[in-house]
Structure 1
Amino acid sequence: MSIYATVKKSIAFILLSFVSFQSLAQQAGLRPYAPSAAEVADAYRLSMKLDTALRNIPTNNELIPFWNKDGTAFWYKKNLPNRTWEYYNVEAATGKRKIAFDHDKLAQRIEKLTGKKQNPLKIQLSELYFSDKGNTAKLKIQDNWYELNLNDYNLTNTNDTTIYRYNARRPLQQRRSRWQRNRESRKSPDGKSEILIRGGNLFVIDLATKAETQLTTDGNADKPYGEFAWSPDGKNIVAYKIDPKEFKKVHYVLSAVPGTTRGELKSREYAQPGDDFTAYQPYVFNVATKTAIKVDAEPIDFFGAPEIHWREHNSRYYTYEKVDRGHQRFRVIEVDVLTGKTKNIIDEKTKTFIYESRIYTRYLPKTNEIIWTSEQDGWRHLYLVDALTGKQRLITKGNYVVRDIDSVDIVKRQVWFRASGMHADEDPYFIHYYRIGFDGKGLVNLTPEKGNHNLSFSPDRKYYIDNYSQVNIPPVSELRLTASTKKINEIEHGKTDAYLATGVKLPEVFVAKGRDGITDIWGIVCLPSKMDPDKTYPVIENIYAGPHDSFVPKNFLPASEMQSIAELGFIVVQIDGMGTANRSKAFHDVCWKNIADAGFPDRILWMKAMAVKYPNADISRVGIYGTSAGGQSSTGALLFHPEFYKAAVSACGCHDNRIDKQWWNEQWMGYPVGPHYEEQSNITNAGKLQGNLFLIVGEADENVPPESTYRLADALIKANKNFDILSIPGMGHSDGGVYGRRRKRDFFVKHLLNAEPPNPNLSK
């Protein structure tokens, strides 16, 4: 039996193990924090002051290198306090770092040349590169190029814009989305012929004679042929008989367009769950014989015409990928162009879902192999697939998650990838970088230090820079040698002194068991800097439970909205509960057809455990806020768990998964649209509202249609429920911006602290 099949039993057992936390606080002599109006106003001022102070202290979580073309050196910009910066140059072989140029002298030269006042610590360079063995710098300021002699600081205008551009953070292999169209090529491989679609039918034109060869006659405007591709030898054409479906539209009204007296209607195509998609039936056409073969495969009715992969030096066989609608089957299908027969090279099926956007496939035609990711053994891992036989072999193995693939070295037969969860003594979400052989041997950890890593390579991959930190441990940037992973030098090392000097408390990491009593649930706690140890404070959860990722911050985070809210007299937390990604398949599967769950059983248990360690946390007063999917979940907290959550602020929520975008909701809620969509809808369950709810929506939201929030408001009104709603003219998909965030804080102060927030209408 799955550990998740015993949820109710486990929760009951764990709940019995907790005593009343309110009585614990009372026994300890703690009193609820109940500020006066003057104290609240003072807290607002101090929160803003602290927030400003923290944001003026640079974190430098990531050192971004700009490498010389030969890979011998790089420069980077280091952020300094009060939004200033300096430029540094680093010699790769030794790791020796030096200031890139005398900032004062350069500022003087720029000022003299341009007549514009310059701050030496705010020199704006849109481009910079070094030449002449580092004696000359070419720099671009706004739209003008200059040459700087670093020996005498002579600065002259130049037209030399020859610059080497290399994005050190960009993976070597860029993946195409399956929503992208097939790459069409009208001209044949030999350039002598060209494909033409006329009247929905397929023609081939001889470019020399202009003679036409008609390959189809049954196409028309309603069901045309198209999305074609030539075989490498130019003898055959793969094309599709298309059954088009028109995308339905959604609408919104811009109510306050300057210079108008009427609302402006906006409409756009927007597929929702259950909507029809265009279908593509594959055919193979032989140009010489003018014959057509219908490929022995069902139409592709999800995504568009797929990218085609031909065997090396072989024009008889090609493969394509097919994701079945409903996300429960993925195939790599091979087609014999002479017969139209097909076979499945990869055929993965699941009872829950296959996370489509994280399917990785890399085709190696020279060796007839495919590198592919799958969760079939319970964790996302790499597989090496024989493209001729379909035989699979694990490359990576263990109770950890391959997060992404950086590159594939075909010559050395190595995969370079990111993973999390391989180190038992660490946060299982921390990302580390590795390389491993196709045979699963020779695993090398490129990032040995504890923390969350972000890595970038030199152009020749001889060196790499490892940036790592933890939510309460400042970042370190190291230069390392790729072959041996040996550290050459530490380039930057952040400190906490400046942050702690402001009085702020850095976020704290907390771990508790989830609903099964076994799995660790990870989160962070933000405490007010002036917390009175003799008082208790309401708890506010920042929620985003979208199954497409995990969301608790892992990089150094001294300043955040959570900390800013905490300063008003709250303990603010963020948690990744079951149903989110980047853990095991079983952990993720909790979301399947179950978005309303949102990990709440884990979140509630986590906060109850947190209140044992932090007795100042008053979990009889719990609020929650979120945006988008977080807006859906925060409202759901009040509807489905009113015994625990008392107040919620929900911005631009997708309150009914039938109203939201098709690609996201069918991935987790499944297809076809069943009764579970309605059963889990906030709109359907609006009558269950017990707590205090504040809805925020931008009238111009093009991500989640605004009617999702308006329909919820309609249902709440019909159920005679009290709630607040803020519709912001002209705003898109947002938490409400500066105004909405201020109103969110006011709402929690009023309903969780039972205090009156400052009224800007009365301010002088």
Structure 2
Amino acid sequence: MKTNHLFQKTIAVTILFLAFLSVSAQKVPYAPTTAELTEAYKRAARLDTALRNIPTNNEIIPLWRKDGLAFWYKKNLPNKNWEYVYVDVATGKRRPAFDANKLAEGLEKANGKKSSALRLAITYLYFTDQNSLKLKSQNKWYEASLNDYNLKSTTDTNTFRYNAKRPLQQRRSRWEWSRSVSKSPDGKSEILVRGGNLLVVDLVTKKETPLSTDGTADKPYGNFDWSPDGKTVVAYKIDPKEIKKVHYVLSSVPGTTRGELKSREYAQPGDDFTSYQPYVFNVASKTVIKVDVEPTDFFGPQPLHWRNNSSRYYTYEKADRGHQRFRVIEVDVQTGKTRNVIDEKTKTFIYESRIYTRYLPKTNEILWTSEQDGWQHLYLVNALTGKQQLITKGNWVVRDIDSVDVVKRQVWFRASGMNTDEDPYFIHYYRIGFDGKGLVNLTPEKGNHVLSFSPDRKYYIDTYSQVNIPAITKLKLTANAKEIQEIEHGQVEPFLNSGVKLPEVFVAKGRDGKTDIWGVVCLPSKMDPNKAYPIIENIYAGPQDSFVPKSFLPASEMQSMAELGFIVVQIDGMGTANRSKAFHDVCWHNLADAGFADRILWMKAMAEQYPNADISKIGVYGTSAGGQNSTGALLFHPEFYKAAVSACGCHDNRIDKQWWNEQWMGYPVGAHYGEQSNITNAAKLQGNLFLIVGEADENVPPESTYRLADALIKANKDFDILSIPGMGHSDGGVYGRRRKRDFFIRHLLNAEPPNANAAAAAK
């Protein structure tokens, strides 16, 4: 018995010892004093300034000579200085574009103002050849020879202006309507609208021919266009609906003693829209046919696309309200009958703003992007038969179209996710044949790429980086993607020497246990290995895009906040864009979801890998949709999120703009709108909430925040609110950001931030 007693005693002591070791191994919560916080604020400001004085050159913008044989670019230097570099593309050799000291002297002589060689005040510069240039400085134009640097004033401002950043073929916004065309193709006739009706005027004889008779001022005809042969007019009978207004009051206009009321048109979900019923008019026979299709009651009349060498058939695009059907409709103007060339339907949503259509009239084909196979891809559609041919395919996403080469039958496009060994959000550039063959990767290097072409597209500039790897810029040959010369190579050492911890990439599985969720982690530069630091999430779960930074980012608000004693993270959860259709569909009728299930799992996994992360103290902040998300974090996940700062949030999707909210929440407006509203759920608040709103917000109406405040007050909830006079859609600016940091220090570090009033008085 005695032996057994000793054994039990030994076990008890061992357990106590192990328990002691376990407790001693735990991190102590970071609990700074006010003095330590004061120093942390100063250190964060110093580091932020130091980082912003180190150049990144994340994007080189070339300014090309007209002959395409050379370009120059402006290179950022330390301490916000800059220089100009000239590149001969045939050899790839780079040199200073000119003697900056001599040009500065020439500018001083020309305009009598002091000029710095490292900060030349040049707003536009153009090389006429390698030894001569034109430049604009202080709103004056000069010609200069690089042989003597003698600047002469000139009124000749004619230069070759080529924007290398602009796509060769710009995508037209679906919110832009087709414009009415008055003049006939031969220029001999013109359409007029009188009393709501259309009439054609012969510009020679002035004879008027009525086309319609049933139009009125209340329901007029309009938005008209001609067939190529001038024999038919396509027009719409319009049923106008008034767009309702929203209002705000400017409380602090200088020189006044009264608030100033501002009002503007602002359609909200469920509001009526103007509708447009298409008709075709035969000018010679004076006959009219109502097109056999329902009215366009969403977006507005879209451009007409006529068959090659035909004035009988045209196509136009129609997106149904509710975002669940998109069509390219062909109309026979002789009969008014229609045929759907493309008819895409979905149980969730079609993201129309991402649809690309390019009409190829000579071959009666359409290039079109769709997510019908679960990923955004390119299709070639026979406009005569409707037959579709998949051009790109795979578990990756076509992000955008740069251009189309009709002669070579090639598409130049951006995509992400094709390379399985890297971040699926990294953008790469490709070209491919209409037949889906001959895929060429113009940007094979690992990283997030930004690319621009020379005017003749013979060469291109490729700049790529990662969030913690500085940018590299290369000059390449378009024909075979061969590298000609490395132009710039960013160095990481200057940033590391500053003491900063560069952002770190972290990946964890999402709610399905399979899908990778990507995010970044910003750590304090002076992190005590024995301390535990609260986590703050920078959230924006708007489904229109993805938001975690992918290019080199040594300085950011997240890093600046981390310096105060936080681990700051940003994550793209399910429901955001640029992954699969299924990944995106999570947001459908479900904006309150905001990817929280993925975000919470990600942060828990991150805390296991980062032992200094205190998973018991989670803060969150966001602006606009992020303002909605951050408040939603407290309301719908109070067991995880403890403090939130929400700026100009869309707290109820019925209050915000129609086009954005119906895209994700659907139409008609159903009970799910209210069920997911922060305002409806205000009584659920448990954590600490700080609301920021600008009184002059013209993006999200300020009443969205004020109604939330009203609901919180009625529910007897404690919260903070900051209304900023005169400010628009913003996170609160410098003042709001400082107040945000103070809020998190109080509620996550349980400390008192420096007294701003006392500090100001001491100056």
TM-score by length of structure 2 reads: 0.96
* 1:62 paired to 2:48: no
On the 8 A contact 2:280/2:290 being kept in 1, the answer is yes
* Cα drift, residue 119 of structure 1: 1.0
Pick from 514, 521, 533 the counterpart of residue 517 of structure 2: 521
* 1:358 paired to 2:354: yes
Secondary structure of the structure 2 residue equivalent to 1:644: coil
**Counterpart Cα distance in 2 of 1:753 and 1:220:** 67
* Cα drift, residue 26 of structure 1: 4.6
Q: Please list the CA deviations of residues 356-400 of structure 1 after superposition, one character each: whole Å capped at 9, or x if unmatched.
A: 100100000000000000000000000000000000010000000
Q: Aligned residue for 1:570? A: 566
Structure 1 residues 72 and 355, CA gap change in structure 2 (3 angstroms): same
Identity %: 80
Q: Aligned residue for 2:612? A: 616
Superposed, 1:282-293 pairs within 5 Å as 282-293=278-289
**Counterpart Cα distance in 1 of 2:53 and 2:173:** 38
* Structure of higher RCO (CA pairs closer than 8 Å, 6+ residues apart): 1
Q: Aligned residue for 1:137? A: 133
* Cα drift, residue 270 of structure 1: 0.2
Letter in 2 for 1:40: L
* Cα drift, residue 159 of structure 1: 2.3
**Counterpart Cα distance in 1 of 2:23 and 2:725:** 46
On the 8 A contact 1:25/1:616 being kept in 2, the answer is no
Letter in 2 for 1:171: P
Q: Please list the CA deviations of residues 517-572 of structure 1 after superposition, one character each: whole Å capped at 9, or x if unmatched.
A: 00000000000000000100000000000000000000000000000000000000
Q: Aligned residue for 2:76? A: 79
Q: After TM superposition, what 4+ stretches of structure 1 lie above 2 angstroms from structure 2?
A: 22-29
* Cα drift, residue 486 of structure 1: 0.3
**Counterpart Cα distance in 2 of 1:53 and 1:671:** 50
**Counterpart Cα distance in 1 of 2:646 and 2:624:** 8
Q: Aligned residue for 2:120? A: 123
**Counterpart Cα distance in 1 of 2:158 and 2:729:** 40
Q: 147-156 or 48-57: which moved more?
A: 147-156
Pick from 7, 32, 36 the counterpart of residue 29 of structure 2: 32
On the 8 A contact 2:115/2:121 being kept in 1, the answer is no
Q: Aligned residue for 2:185? A: 189
Q: Aligned pairs, how many?
A: 742
Structure 2: gaps (5+ residues) = 1-18
On the 8 A contact 2:401/2:411 being kept in 1, the answer is yes
* 1:342 paired to 2:338: yes
**Counterpart Cα distance in 2 of 1:528 and 1:393:** 52
Secondary structure of the structure 1 residue equivalent to 2:487: strand
Superposed, 1:200-349 pairs within 5 Å as 200-349=196-345
Q: Please list the CA deviations of residues 45-79 of structure 1 after superposition, one character each: whole Å capped at 9, or x if unmatched.
A: 11111111111111110000000111000000001
Letter in 2 for 1:223: K
**Counterpart Cα distance in 2 of 1:25 and 1:156:** 78
* Cα drift, residue 27 of structure 1: 6.0
On the 8 A contact 2:103/2:149 being kept in 1, the answer is yes
**Counterpart Cα distance in 1 of 2:701 and 2:504:** 36
Q: Please list the CA deviations of residues 688-744 of structure 1 after superposition, one character each: whole Å capped at 9, or x if unmatched.
A: 000000000000000000000000000000000000000000000000000000000
On the 8 A contact 1:238/1:283 being kept in 2, the answer is yes
On the 8 A contact 1:25/1:536 being kept in 2, the answer is no
* Cα drift, residue 117 of structure 1: 0.9
Q: Aligned residue for 2:448? A: 452
Q: Please list the CA deviations of residues 558-603 of structure 1 after superposition, one character each: whole Å capped at 9, or x if unmatched.
A: 0000000000000000000000000000000000000000000000
Q: Aligned residue for 1:98? A: 95
**Counterpart Cα distance in 2 of 1:253 and 1:301:** 32
**Counterpart Cα distance in 1 of 2:714 and 2:26:** 44
Structure 1 residues 612 and 27, CA gap change in structure 2 (3 angstroms): farther
Letter in 1 for 2:88: E
Letter in 1 for 2:558: M
On the 8 A contact 2:378/2:398 being kept in 1, the answer is yes
Q: 113-122 or 193-202: which moved more?
A: 113-122
* Cα drift, residue 146 of structure 1: 1.2
Superposed, 1:405-420 pairs within 5 Å as 405-420=401-416
**Counterpart Cα distance in 2 of 1:55 and 1:129:** 29
On the 8 A contact 1:370/1:384 being kept in 2, the answer is yes
On the 8 A contact 2:447/2:465 being kept in 1, the answer is yes
**Counterpart Cα distance in 1 of 2:222 and 2:68:** 46
On the 8 A contact 2:231/2:282 being kept in 1, the answer is yes
* Cα drift, residue 113 of structure 1: 2.2
Structure 1: gaps (5+ residues) = 1-21
**Counterpart Cα distance in 2 of 1:305 and 1:273:** 20
* Cα drift, residue 468 of structure 1: 0.2
* Cα drift, residue 319 of structure 1: 0.2
Pick from 194, 198, 216 the counterpart of residue 198 of structure 1: 194
**Counterpart Cα distance in 1 of 2:538 and 2:728:** 21
Letter in 2 for 1:254: L
Letter in 2 for 1:64: I
On the 8 A contact 1:593/1:669 being kept in 2, the answer is yes
**Counterpart Cα distance in 2 of 1:321 and 1:659:** 29
* 1:718 paired to 2:714: yes
Q: Please list the CA deviations of residues 80-100 of structure 1 after superposition, one character each: whole Å capped at 9, or x if unmatched.
A: 111110001000111100000
Superposed, 1:703-714 pairs within 5 Å as 703-714=699-710
* 1:640 paired to 2:636: yes
* Cα drift, residue 158 of structure 1: 2.1
Q: Aligned residue for 1:468? A: 464
* Cα drift, residue 24 of structure 1: 11
Superposed, 1:549-698 pairs within 5 Å as 549-698=545-694
Q: Aligned residue for 2:487? A: 491
On the 8 A contact 1:25/1:615 being kept in 2, the answer is no
**Counterpart Cα distance in 1 of 2:22 and 2:390:** 52
On the 8 A contact 1:515/1:605 being kept in 2, the answer is yes
On the 8 A contact 2:475/2:484 being kept in 1, the answer is yes
**Counterpart Cα distance in 1 of 2:523 and 2:601:** 19
**Counterpart Cα distance in 2 of 1:24 and 1:496:** 40
Letter in 2 for 1:561: E
On the 8 A contact 1:403/1:418 being kept in 2, the answer is yes
* Cα drift, residue 23 of structure 1: 12
Secondary structure of the structure 2 residue equivalent to 1:260: coil
> What RMSD over aligned residues (CA atoms) do the two structures have, in Å?
1.1
On the 8 A contact 1:465/1:479 being kept in 2, the answer is yes
* Cα drift, residue 495 of structure 1: 0.5
Letter in 1 for 2:598: D
Q: 117-126 or 559-568: which moved more?
A: 117-126
Q: 173-182 or 632-641: which moved more?
A: 173-182
* Cα drift, residue 37 of structure 1: 0.8
Q: Aligned residue for 1:428? A: 424
**Counterpart Cα distance in 2 of 1:547 and 1:432:** 22
Q: 148-157 or 646-655: which moved more?
A: 148-157
**Counterpart Cα distance in 1 of 2:443 and 2:179:** 38
**Counterpart Cα distance in 2 of 1:381 and 1:75:** 36
* Cα drift, residue 105 of structure 1: 1.1
* Cα drift, residue 467 of structure 1: 0.5
**Counterpart Cα distance in 2 of 1:578 and 1:389:** 37
**Counterpart Cα distance in 1 of 2:423 and 2:651:** 32
